[in-house]
Amino acid sequence: MKCRMCGFEFDETTLEDRGCSSCGKHGCNSIHCPNCGFANSPELDDEFEFITKLKDRFKKRKSVN
């Protein structure tokens, strides 16, 4: 996973304090970056990937026209 705040890349499956134990919220499903502590949400990563693909499609269409 790549942290959206600092850009640090890490393997979220190897973290001891993977989620809510770090931020105090219960059931938030966030994965905290071991470098900066930012709470990255796996659900948002999927949404950002989808938005990035859409933007790339629009750029390709624009360049063709």
Closest CA to 13 of 31, 37, 38, 35: 31
Of the listed ranges 1-5, 9-13, 23-27, 34-38, the least confidently predicted one is 23-27
**pLDDT tens sequence across 14-60:** 887 655 555 566 667 788 899 998 888 877 767 778 888 888 898 88
pLDDT of residue 12: 87
pLDDT of residue 18: 58
Determine how many CB atoms are found less than 10 A away from the CB of residue 35.
13
Please tell me the distance from the alpha carbon of residue 3 to that of residue 43, in angstroms, as a whole number.
13
Label residue 63 by pLDDT band (50, 70, 90): confident
For 12, the token pair is: 């979220």
pTM of the prediction?
A: 0.57
